[in-house]
Amino acid sequence: MKMRLALTVACLTIGTLVSATAAQAVTYNLSGDYSDTANPTPNGVWSYVYNNVLLPHVAAPGTANPLNPAVSSNGYFSTGNDLNSNTPDVLKAQVNGSSAGENDGDFLKDDIVIHSPNDATKALTIVWTAPSAGTISSLAASVWYAHSAVTRSNDVTLSSTVSAITTQLAAWTISAVSHGDRSTAATFAGGPFNVTAGDLITLSFLQTTGQSFGSLNGVAASVNFAPAATPIPAALPLLMTGLAGLGWAGHRRRKQAA
Protein backbone atom coordinates (compact mmCIF):
# COMPACT_ATOMS: atom_id res chain seq x y z
CA MET A 1 0.00 0.00 0.00
CA LYS A 2 2.81 2.38 0.93
CA MET A 3 4.65 1.54 -2.27
CA ARG A 4 1.54 2.25 -4.35
CA LEU A 5 1.12 5.59 -2.60
CA ALA A 6 4.77 6.46 -3.25
CA LEU A 7 4.42 5.50 -6.90
CA THR A 8 1.28 7.62 -7.24
CA VAL A 9 2.96 10.68 -5.70
CA ALA A 10 6.02 10.20 -7.90
CA CYS A 11 3.91 9.90 -11.05
CA LEU A 12 2.03 13.07 -10.18
CA THR A 13 5.35 14.84 -9.62
CA ILE A 14 6.62 13.74 -13.02
CA GLY A 15 3.39 14.89 -14.66
CA THR A 16 3.77 18.31 -13.08
CA LEU A 17 7.39 18.61 -14.19
CA VAL A 18 6.64 17.54 -17.75
CA SER A 19 3.61 19.82 -18.10
CA ALA A 20 5.71 22.72 -16.79
CA THR A 21 8.04 22.27 -19.75
CA ALA A 22 5.22 22.80 -22.27
CA ALA A 23 5.14 26.31 -23.74
CA GLN A 24 1.85 28.08 -24.32
CA ALA A 25 1.62 30.02 -27.60
CA VAL A 26 0.20 33.53 -27.46
CA THR A 27 -0.96 36.02 -30.09
CA TYR A 28 0.12 39.63 -29.61
CA ASN A 29 -2.07 42.12 -31.44
CA LEU A 30 -1.15 45.80 -31.81
CA SER A 31 -4.73 47.04 -31.49
CA GLY A 32 -5.93 44.46 -28.97
CA ASP A 33 -2.96 45.05 -26.67
CA TYR A 34 -3.09 48.85 -26.89
CA SER A 35 -3.36 50.83 -23.67
CA ASP A 36 -3.47 54.62 -23.60
CA THR A 37 -2.02 55.06 -20.13
CA ALA A 38 1.74 54.45 -20.46
CA ASN A 39 4.56 53.49 -22.82
CA PRO A 40 5.62 50.69 -22.95
CA THR A 41 3.84 49.37 -19.84
CA PRO A 42 1.01 48.27 -19.89
CA ASN A 43 1.37 47.92 -23.66
CA GLY A 44 3.80 45.17 -22.72
CA VAL A 45 5.72 43.87 -25.72
CA TRP A 46 4.69 46.90 -27.84
CA SER A 47 6.33 50.31 -27.55
CA TYR A 48 6.45 53.52 -29.60
CA VAL A 49 9.82 55.12 -30.19
CA TYR A 50 10.65 58.55 -31.63
CA ASN A 51 14.24 59.49 -32.34
CA ASN A 52 15.38 56.52 -30.20
CA VAL A 53 13.34 57.65 -27.17
CA LEU A 54 10.02 56.29 -25.89
CA LEU A 55 7.18 58.49 -27.09
CA PRO A 56 5.48 60.09 -24.05
CA HIS A 57 1.87 59.58 -23.08
CA VAL A 58 0.01 62.91 -23.14
CA ALA A 59 -3.42 64.18 -22.18
CA ALA A 60 -6.30 64.40 -24.66
CA PRO A 61 -5.88 67.19 -27.24
CA GLY A 62 -6.10 70.69 -25.81
CA THR A 63 -6.77 72.55 -29.07
CA ALA A 64 -9.36 72.16 -31.80
CA ASN A 65 -8.61 69.67 -34.58
CA PRO A 66 -10.93 67.55 -36.77
CA LEU A 67 -9.16 64.39 -35.53
CA ASN A 68 -9.95 65.08 -31.86
CA PRO A 69 -13.02 62.77 -31.69
CA ALA A 70 -10.77 59.83 -32.58
CA VAL A 71 -8.59 60.37 -29.51
CA SER A 72 -9.42 58.74 -26.18
CA SER A 73 -10.30 61.04 -23.28
CA ASN A 74 -7.46 59.25 -21.45
CA GLY A 75 -4.95 60.66 -23.93
CA TYR A 76 -2.59 59.26 -26.54
CA PHE A 77 1.12 59.09 -27.40
CA SER A 78 2.84 62.18 -28.79
CA THR A 79 5.38 64.90 -28.06
CA GLY A 80 2.52 67.15 -26.90
CA ASN A 81 -1.27 67.27 -26.89
CA ASP A 82 -1.77 69.63 -29.84
CA LEU A 83 -2.66 67.64 -32.96
CA ASN A 84 -2.04 70.75 -35.06
CA SER A 85 1.65 71.00 -34.25
CA ASN A 86 2.93 68.09 -32.16
CA THR A 87 4.11 64.98 -33.98
CA PRO A 88 4.51 62.05 -34.16
CA ASP A 89 1.27 60.63 -32.79
CA VAL A 90 0.00 57.14 -31.96
CA LEU A 91 -3.62 56.53 -31.00
CA LYS A 92 -6.37 53.92 -31.08
CA ALA A 93 -9.32 55.39 -32.95
CA GLN A 94 -12.40 55.90 -30.79
CA VAL A 95 -14.66 56.54 -33.80
CA ASN A 96 -14.73 55.84 -37.53
CA GLY A 97 -12.83 58.22 -39.78
CA SER A 98 -16.05 59.85 -41.04
CA SER A 99 -16.60 61.19 -37.51
CA ALA A 100 -13.08 62.62 -37.25
CA GLY A 101 -12.42 64.74 -40.32
CA GLU A 102 -11.53 61.83 -42.65
CA ASN A 103 -13.59 58.97 -44.12
CA ASP A 104 -14.22 55.36 -43.18
CA GLY A 105 -11.75 54.18 -45.81
CA ASP A 106 -9.07 55.97 -43.79
CA PHE A 107 -9.76 54.21 -40.52
CA LEU A 108 -12.44 52.57 -38.43
CA LYS A 109 -13.03 52.51 -34.69
CA ASP A 110 -10.28 50.53 -32.89
CA ASP A 111 -7.77 50.90 -35.71
CA ILE A 112 -4.30 52.05 -34.67
CA VAL A 113 -3.60 55.38 -36.36
CA ILE A 114 -0.21 57.10 -36.46
CA HIS A 115 0.95 60.49 -37.70
CA SER A 116 4.54 60.39 -38.91
CA PRO A 117 6.98 63.08 -37.69
CA ASN A 118 6.90 66.49 -39.35
CA ASP A 119 10.68 66.42 -38.93
CA ALA A 120 11.90 64.60 -42.03
CA THR A 121 15.14 63.52 -40.34
CA LYS A 122 13.49 61.50 -37.56
CA ALA A 123 11.38 58.34 -37.65
CA LEU A 124 8.50 57.02 -35.57
CA THR A 125 8.97 53.32 -34.85
CA ILE A 126 6.47 50.81 -33.51
CA VAL A 127 8.45 48.09 -31.73
CA TRP A 128 7.56 44.53 -30.71
CA THR A 129 10.09 43.07 -28.27
CA ALA A 130 10.40 39.31 -27.74
CA PRO A 131 9.59 38.62 -24.06
CA SER A 132 11.69 35.42 -24.04
CA ALA A 133 13.39 32.96 -26.33
CA GLY A 134 10.94 31.24 -28.65
CA THR A 135 9.49 31.08 -32.14
CA ILE A 136 7.38 33.58 -34.04
CA SER A 137 5.24 31.13 -35.99
CA SER A 138 3.63 33.92 -37.99
CA LEU A 139 4.01 37.67 -38.34
CA ALA A 140 1.38 39.76 -40.09
CA ALA A 141 1.43 43.51 -40.73
CA SER A 142 -0.54 45.95 -42.86
CA VAL A 143 -0.22 49.70 -43.41
CA TRP A 144 -2.40 52.10 -45.38
CA TYR A 145 -2.88 55.79 -46.07
CA ALA A 146 -5.39 57.29 -43.62
CA HIS A 147 -5.28 60.97 -44.49
CA SER A 148 -7.61 61.51 -47.44
CA ALA A 149 -8.14 65.17 -46.49
CA VAL A 150 -4.61 65.94 -47.77
CA THR A 151 -2.12 64.50 -50.29
CA ARG A 152 1.09 63.42 -48.57
CA SER A 153 3.41 60.41 -48.37
CA ASN A 154 5.36 58.25 -45.91
CA ASP A 155 8.13 55.71 -46.35
CA VAL A 156 7.49 52.66 -44.15
CA THR A 157 9.96 49.90 -43.34
CA LEU A 158 9.28 46.57 -41.61
CA SER A 159 12.37 44.92 -40.10
CA SER A 160 13.48 42.22 -37.70
CA THR A 161 16.48 42.42 -35.38
CA VAL A 162 17.53 38.93 -34.31
CA SER A 163 20.78 38.31 -32.43
CA ALA A 164 21.78 41.93 -33.16
CA ILE A 165 21.40 41.43 -36.93
CA THR A 166 18.78 43.67 -38.59
CA THR A 167 16.99 42.38 -41.68
CA GLN A 168 14.56 44.40 -43.78
CA LEU A 169 11.43 42.35 -44.33
CA ALA A 170 9.42 44.84 -46.41
CA ALA A 171 9.39 48.49 -47.48
CA TRP A 172 6.55 50.55 -48.90
CA THR A 173 5.66 54.08 -49.90
CA ILE A 174 2.28 54.86 -48.36
CA SER A 175 0.38 57.71 -50.04
CA ALA A 176 -2.97 58.73 -51.46
CA VAL A 177 -2.13 56.86 -54.68
CA SER A 178 -0.18 53.95 -53.18
CA HIS A 179 -2.02 51.82 -50.61
CA GLY A 180 -4.42 54.74 -50.38
CA ASP A 181 -7.01 53.29 -47.95
CA ARG A 182 -7.88 50.28 -45.77
CA SER A 183 -8.99 48.20 -48.77
CA THR A 184 -5.64 48.56 -50.56
CA ALA A 185 -3.29 48.25 -47.58
CA ALA A 186 0.31 47.16 -48.01
CA THR A 187 0.61 43.75 -46.33
CA PHE A 188 3.25 41.35 -45.08
CA ALA A 189 2.92 37.76 -43.85
CA GLY A 190 5.90 35.68 -42.81
CA GLY A 191 7.46 33.25 -40.37
CA PRO A 192 8.65 31.23 -38.65
CA PHE A 193 11.41 33.24 -36.94
CA ASN A 194 13.44 31.95 -34.00
CA VAL A 195 14.16 34.72 -31.50
CA THR A 196 15.77 35.28 -28.14
CA ALA A 197 14.60 37.61 -25.37
CA GLY A 198 14.96 41.23 -26.48
CA ASP A 199 14.93 40.60 -30.22
CA LEU A 200 12.77 43.08 -32.16
CA ILE A 201 10.18 43.47 -34.89
CA THR A 202 9.94 47.11 -35.98
CA LEU A 203 7.71 49.25 -38.21
CA SER A 204 9.31 52.64 -38.96
CA PHE A 205 7.54 55.66 -40.46
CA LEU A 206 9.37 58.57 -42.09
CA GLN A 207 7.89 61.24 -44.33
CA THR A 208 8.91 60.75 -47.95
CA THR A 209 11.69 63.02 -49.23
CA GLY A 210 10.24 66.28 -50.56
CA GLN A 211 7.24 66.30 -48.22
CA SER A 212 6.71 69.28 -45.94
CA PHE A 213 4.72 67.39 -43.30
CA GLY A 214 4.10 63.88 -42.04
CA SER A 215 0.77 62.16 -42.55
CA LEU A 216 -1.71 59.72 -41.05
CA ASN A 217 -1.36 55.99 -41.63
CA GLY A 218 -3.47 53.12 -40.36
CA VAL A 219 -1.53 50.17 -38.94
CA ALA A 220 -2.37 46.57 -38.03
CA ALA A 221 0.10 44.00 -36.73
CA SER A 222 0.01 40.64 -34.99
CA VAL A 223 2.68 38.23 -33.77
CA ASN A 224 1.96 34.57 -32.99
CA PHE A 225 4.65 33.62 -30.49
CA ALA A 226 5.50 30.35 -28.75
CA PRO A 227 8.01 30.60 -25.89
CA ALA A 228 10.79 28.03 -25.92
CA ALA A 229 10.00 24.96 -23.83
CA THR A 230 11.58 24.81 -20.39
CA PRO A 231 14.33 22.14 -20.33
CA ILE A 232 13.39 18.92 -18.51
CA PRO A 233 15.07 18.91 -15.05
CA ALA A 234 18.29 16.90 -15.06
CA ALA A 235 17.02 14.75 -12.16
CA LEU A 236 13.92 13.58 -14.04
CA PRO A 237 15.59 10.69 -15.91
CA LEU A 238 17.00 9.42 -12.58
CA LEU A 239 13.56 9.66 -10.99
CA MET A 240 12.03 7.69 -13.84
CA THR A 241 14.74 5.03 -13.50
CA GLY A 242 14.02 4.79 -9.78
CA LEU A 243 10.31 4.38 -10.43
CA ALA A 244 11.00 1.61 -12.88
CA GLY A 245 13.11 -0.12 -10.20
CA LEU A 246 10.37 0.25 -7.61
CA GLY A 247 7.83 -1.17 -10.00
CA TRP A 248 10.01 -4.17 -10.75
CA ALA A 249 10.71 -4.77 -7.05
CA GLY A 250 7.00 -4.65 -6.27
CA HIS A 251 6.28 -7.07 -9.09
CA ARG A 252 8.86 -9.58 -7.77
CA ARG A 253 7.49 -9.36 -4.19
CA ARG A 254 3.97 -10.06 -5.37
CA LYS A 255 5.22 -12.97 -7.46
CA GLN A 256 7.17 -14.49 -4.51
CA ALA A 257 4.22 -14.04 -2.17
CA ALA A 258 2.06 -15.94 -4.59
The CATH number linked to 102 is 2.60.120
Range(s) of the domain holding residue 131: 24-227
Asked whether residue 203 carries a pLDDT value surpassing 60, the answer given is: yes
**Beta pairing, strands 89-92 & 46-50:** unpaired
One-letter identity of residue 105: G
Whether 56 maps to a domain, the answer reads: yes
Residue 234: other Cβ atoms inside 10 A: 7
Q: Are residues 204 and 117 in the same domain?
A: yes
Identify whether residues 208 and 222 lie together within a single domain.
yes
Same-domain status, 117 and 83: yes
User: In angstroms, what CA-CA distances link 65 with 45, 54, 120, 164?
Assistant: 31, 25, 22, 41
- Distance, CA of 15 to CA of 82 (rounded, Å): 57
**Count of domains for the chain:** 2
- Render pLDDT for 138-188 as a digit per residue (tens, 0 to 9): 999 999 999 999 999 999 999 999 999 999 999 999 999 999 999 999 999
Q: Report how far residue 96's alpha carbon sits from residue 22's, in angstroms, rounded to the nearest whole number.
A: 42
Q: For 19-38, how does the pLDDT look when each residue is reduced to its tens digit (9 = 90+)?
A: 444 569 999 999 999 987 77
Q: Which residue would you say has higher pLDDT here, 242 or 193?
A: 193
> Does residue 76 sit in the same domain as residue 90?
yes
pLDDT at 44: 80
| Whether 14 and 107 share a structural domain | no
Lowest-pLDDT choice from 64-68, 218-222, 246-250, 254-258: 246-250
Give me the amino acid identity at 218: G
Task: Give the chain's mean pLDDT.
Answer: 86
- Residues 239, 227: Cα–Cα separation, whole Å: 26
